[in-house]
């Protein structure tokens, strides 16, 4: 009996020593994995810095003493979202020297004062209306504010928004009784890009990431992870071995099906028709402007612009060239739709920072074209 007890004790001690050594080894491996992941985080920081350096090498930013500070703020402010019903996201509030986003997620328009009896002008669109690449004073809404008398311009543009999200944003305002005097839509690029990215007309950005999250959360029969699995998948070892799951868009490539081209064109135009109907019902003035994009430029691209074209996803220029003529033709018959796709042709200053985002010079040219349309209808 004693001999059996001694053998059990020896076996237990051996097992305990083995388990302790195994645990110590796992802790060492976990620490090593954490250090590797931390190194990858540093690599992402390097990628961000490389992006900022690339932007600062563009012709427009040479000699702009605010450029480096702007891109530092941009990487802190942009692409940091808070959830919003129906439109999905809104930029977090941000207080900077060159970028300011108010508590409602709206890019601040300098000199805008909405406390009196001013004409309320609400602008809607994607990152081009938001003001990607320029300080607060260089956005399209800022130039509209400067060019209008007794007006309050509010910037409801948001990163990545397409015309459907612009329409929903307008509807959400009307639901609360916040009716503008003038509503301006400035869309086009994201309607085409989002549709090509997901092979689906009307698709919003990040659909490939949002859809699985919603489907997994709402499906009653979706498998629920066990606590043990949750614990294991949270370890640095697991994250290092499994890697970050790649969420890739399903880009549509030419030749495009007629249903895709027709769908992209129709979704945009139908959104504008809905906005125009709301303008009639709620008694405000509605304007829609087709934004310029580099593939539709009416003059040869210079070396820098050619680089922007090369950086575009394959097939995207061709989809722009297939869809835009449909919208341009519609502008001849729809009284609220205006084609600005050629407004940047012949500009003497740098106007592009990629295939659709503009410099402050480009935004000024766009705003000037808008003002020529809206001033006569505003009595100014």
Helix ranges (DSSP H) in the chain: 2-56, 67-77, 127-130, 140-147, 163-175, 189-198, 207-218, 227-233, 236-242, 258-282, 303-310, 316-331, 360-378
Residues 87 and 51 in one domain: no
Task: Specify if 88 maps to a domain.
Answer: yes
Neighbours of 159 (CB within 10 A): 22
Same domain, 119 and 259: yes
Domain co-membership, 274 together with 187: yes
Task: Report how far residue 322's alpha carbon sits from residue 338's, in angstroms, rounded to the nearest whole number.
Answer: 18
Please indicate, yes or no, if residue 206 is contained in any of the structural domains: no
Cα separation values, 30 from 26, 36, 234, 236, Å? 6, 10, 11, 6
Residue 75 lies in a domain: no
Average pLDDT over residues 95-123: 95
Report residue 38's pLDDT band, with 50, 70 and 90 as the boundaries: low
Query: Does any domain span residue 344?
Result: yes
pLDDT at res. 325: 97
Same domain, 37 and 155: no
**Do residue 277 and residue 325 come from a single domain?**
yes
Residues 7 and 116 in one domain: no
> Considering the entire predicted model, what is its pTM?
0.86
How many domains does one find in the chain?
A: 2
- Is the separation of the CB atoms in 334 and 271 below 8 Å? no
Structure confidence by residue, pLDDT tens digits, 190-207: 999 999 999 999 999 888
Question: In which domain, by residue range, is 9 found?
Answer: 1-57
Q: What pLDDT does residue 115 have?
A: 86
Residue 32 has pLDDT above 70, yes or no: no
Q: Is 67 within a domain?
A: no
Q: What pLDDT, on the 0 to 100 scale, is given for residue 33? A: 52
Phi and psi, residue 125, nearest 5°: 160, -165
Residue 52: other Cβ atoms inside 10 A: 17
Residue range 237-253: mean pLDDT, rounded: 64
pLDDT value of residue 238: 54
Q: For 24-38, 77-91, 208-222, 309-323, which range has the lowest pLDDT when averaged over its residues?
A: 24-38
Quick one: pLDDT band at residue 313, thresholds 50, 70, 90? Answer: very high
Count of residues making up the chain: 380
186 contact partners, CB below 8 Å, separation of at least 6: 123, 124, 125, 128, 129, 140, 157, 288, 289, 291, 366, 370
């Amino acid at each position: 009996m004693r001999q059996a007890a001694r053998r059990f004790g020896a076996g237990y001690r051996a097992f305990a020593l083995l388990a302790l050594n195994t645990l110590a080894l796992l802790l060492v491996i976990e620490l090593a994995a954490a250090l590797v992941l931390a190194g990858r985080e540093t690599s992402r920081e390097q990628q961000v810095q490389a992006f900022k350096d690339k932007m600062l090498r563009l012709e427009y930013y040479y000699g702009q003493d605010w450029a480096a500070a702007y891109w530092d703020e941009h990487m802190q402010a942009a692409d940091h979202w808070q959830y919003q019903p129906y439109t999905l996201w809104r930029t977090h509030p941000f207080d900077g020297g060159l970028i300011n986003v108010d508590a409602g997620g709206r890019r601040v328009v300098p000199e805008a004062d909405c406390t009196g009896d001013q004409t309320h002008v609400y602008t809607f669109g994607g990152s081009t209306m938001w003001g990607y690449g320029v300080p607060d004073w260089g956005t399209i809404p800022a130039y509209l504010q400067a060019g209008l008398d007794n007006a309050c311009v509010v910037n409801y543009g948001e990163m990545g928004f397409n015309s459907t999200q612009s329409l929903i944003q307008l509807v959400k305002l009307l639901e609360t009784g916040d009716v503008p005097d003038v509503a301006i839509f400035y869309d086009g690029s994201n309607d085409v890009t989002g549709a090509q990215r997901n092979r689906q007309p009307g698709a919003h950005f990040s659909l490939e990431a949002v859809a699985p999250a919603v489907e997994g959360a709402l499906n009653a029969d979706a498998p629920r992870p066990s606590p043990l699995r949750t614990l294991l998948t949270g370890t640095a070892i697991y994250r290092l071995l499994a890697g970050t799951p790649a969420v890739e868009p399903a880009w549509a490539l030419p030749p495009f099906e007629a249903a895709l081209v027709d769908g992209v064109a129709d979704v945009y135009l139908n959104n504008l028709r809905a906005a125009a109907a709301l303008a009639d019902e709620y008694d405000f003035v509605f304007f829609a402007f087709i934004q310029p994009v580099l593939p539709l430029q009416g003059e040869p691209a210079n070396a820098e612009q050619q680089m922007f074209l090369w950086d575009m996803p394959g097939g995207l220029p061709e989809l722009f060239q297939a869809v835009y003529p449909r919208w341009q033709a519609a502008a001849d018959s729809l009284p609220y739709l205006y084609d600005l796709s050629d407004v940047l042709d012949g500009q003497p200053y740098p106007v592009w920072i990629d295939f659709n985002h503009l410099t402050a010079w480009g935004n000024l040219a766009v705003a000037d074209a808008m003002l020529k349309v809206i001033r006569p209808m505003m009595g100014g």
